[in-house]
Structure 1
């Protein structure tokens, strides 16, 4: 007797694999851009990063702070390593290979550690630095998504949680940014 795979489970597994791979790819690309921008800023203190859009949306302002090198080296270097691993695991999943539970647990633990670090950076950005780096926001987005997707997979939660929770999380962060910098946003209206 043969059994057929559950199409809903297969679709969810493919969706998770794509989400992990794309999160890794976006995180890696943004980390690379931030690293290059940081190098240019170190070479030339007068350099204006490509993500300096306004007084509030300003990567250069953020890059010049202690928080931008929280562990003694530029934060994007962490992203280069971490998101390369995430992208690799996503590619492995897309190939149809199943990951051992320990690897899932490690990915989940790493994404939660990234989530804690990202939220520390969000607090620093909003309430200590007073500027938002658009590239950093992209890192926040993929880190939150990755943490939610791995939590759903490891904790065996309903797949819709992997999409609903990040959307609510993003909305909360957007409201925090809107509230914190309302003095600036209202001048644009």
Structure 2
């Protein structure tokens, strides 16, 4: 069944809208915090809870502006696109395979960036940025949901057997996401002992 005749992915569309809205909100909050820091380098941000949990260190670091401008601007643009795709699907839009592949490429890029930032936060900056973590929380399942959907629908060219495999795996996205969260939490615990520092 081709993407032009298959049933619209309503559940995926709703998820994209919700995840996109959450991601946009986090990016917007980070942007406001960045503007506050630019206006006053000594500003006390609401996201700074302790030496371990805060966003000032991230925003002022080189990792906070990988491409020469604040990372949150990428989030504002990227999550707006995610919301637009979700809304378009609900409105009846049916995208060509090349569109889905480009969208998937963007989602892959987002995940690669998030993995890099997670690694930098945990191993280099030694801080957990609240708004950044919200972004991590929605980027990970967005990657799995979009990628598995495209594989099972054949938007990414694969064999019929591979499509069937990912069709079954698609329903496991929530569990796979939880496993990913657990991996990040374990790595953070090993490096930062966050459970003791935050809760004890």
- Deviation for aligned residue 1:93: 1.1
1:163 alignment counterpart: 174
The root-mean-square deviation of aligned C-alpha atoms, in Å, is: 1.7
Alignment partner of 1:186 out of 171, 176, 196: 196
What does residue range 21-100 of structure 1 map to in structure 2 within 5 Å?
Answer: 21-100=17-96
Structure 1 segments (4+ residues) deviating >6 Å: none
Instruction: Quickly say closer, same or farther: Cα 1:37–1:179, change in 2 above 3 A.
Output: same
Following superposition, the deviation at residue 96 of structure 1 comes to 2.8
Unaligned runs of at least 5 residues, structure 2: 153-165
For residues 172 and 150 of structure 2, what CA distance do their matches in structure 1 show?
A: 13
Q: Which residue of 2 aligns with 1:133?
A: 129
TM-score (normalised: structure 1): 0.89
Aligned residues, how many? 180
1:63-103 superposed Cα distances (whole Å, 9 cap, x missing partner): 11110001100000111111111111111112232222212
Q: For residues 93-130 of structure 1, what are the alpha-carbon distances to aligned partners after superposition, in whole Å with 9 as ceiling and x for unaligned?
A: 12232222212111111000111111010110011111
Structure 1: which 5+ residue stretches go unaligned? none
Structure 2 length as normaliser, TM-score?
0.84
Determine whether 1:101 maps to 2:82: no
